[in-house]
Amino acid sequence: ELELLRNAFFTAPEDQSAWFYHRWVLAQLAPPAGGEPGADGASASWDHILRSELAMLRELREMEPEAKWPLASSAHILSLLADESGGGGDGATALTEAEAHELADALATLQRIDPARTHFYSAQ
């Protein structure tokens, strides 16, 4: 599914339906909240999926720097990575300083290019 979505993103990055489906697919792949104590493999797999999707989005954003949906999805994935590391206290990977800066920049850019939703982005 993720590969099909990647093809859709690079074909028509402005098509919001693919982006909404992408968010749903990621939600289906996410490990359950609270997770099992021994589910380190699931957590590592989830981290790998998120980082792989983030790399793809960075590539797309290089080609389409002002496109809203790749930027919004990058911010969402970075937020998921930050949430993943924040709650467990089990040594999960936190956002790097560069990723935290990338998230802040993405949200600031979204506020600029999508002013109707400024308050939504500032609450992220």
pLDDT tens figures, 61-74: 999 988 999 999 99
- Indicate the pLDDT class of residue 117, thresholds 50, 70 and 90: very high
Give the span between the Cα atoms of 101 and 17, in whole angstroms: 28
Per residue in 80-117, is it b (16+ CB within 10 Å) or e — as a string?
Answer: bbeebbeeeeeebeebeeebeebbeebbebbbeeeeee
Task: Give 12's DSSP letter.
Answer: -
The whole-model pTM stands at 0.84
Give the span between the Cα atoms of 65 and 81, in whole angstroms: 22
